[in-house]
Amino acid sequence: MKKIARIITFVLIAGTVAAGIYYYFKSREDDEDFEDSDNDVSDDLDEFLKNEEKEADNAAKREYVPLKFENSSEEQATAAE
């Protein structure tokens, strides 16, 4: 019975060590990717600001349809009743 307990304990410890090593290397890769993504973020921000300027220019050129509210005397009379 003690032999089985030792084997199970060894397997658990070996699995924990393997998971720790895997997590270490995975987080290390993520950190490297994060450092590289700083340049991407600034490029995305520049593109976003340029698009905002273009949209603002397009909005300034847009013409709106004027709304005309003409009430006839008949419509006003029916609304008053």
For every one of its 81 residues, what pLDDT tens digit does the chain have, with 9 covering 90 and above? Answer: 889 999 999 999 999 999 999 998 888 877 766 665 555 666 777 788 888 777 777 766 767 777 777 765 555 556 555
Tell me the pTM: 0.38
For residues 9, 11, 13, 14, the Cα torsion angle rounded to the nearest 10 degrees is 160
* 48 is a domain residue: yes
* 11 is a domain residue: yes
* 77 is a domain residue: no
Task: Give the total number of structural domains in the chain.
Answer: 1
* 22 is a domain residue: yes
Tokens 């950190």, residue located? 31
* 27 is a domain residue: yes
- CA 7: distance to chain centroid? 47
Helix (H, G, I), strand (E, B) or coil at 20: helix
* 74 is a domain residue: no
DSSP string, 22-47: HHHHHHHHHHHHHHHHHHHHHHHHHH
Tokens 């030792």, residue located? 6
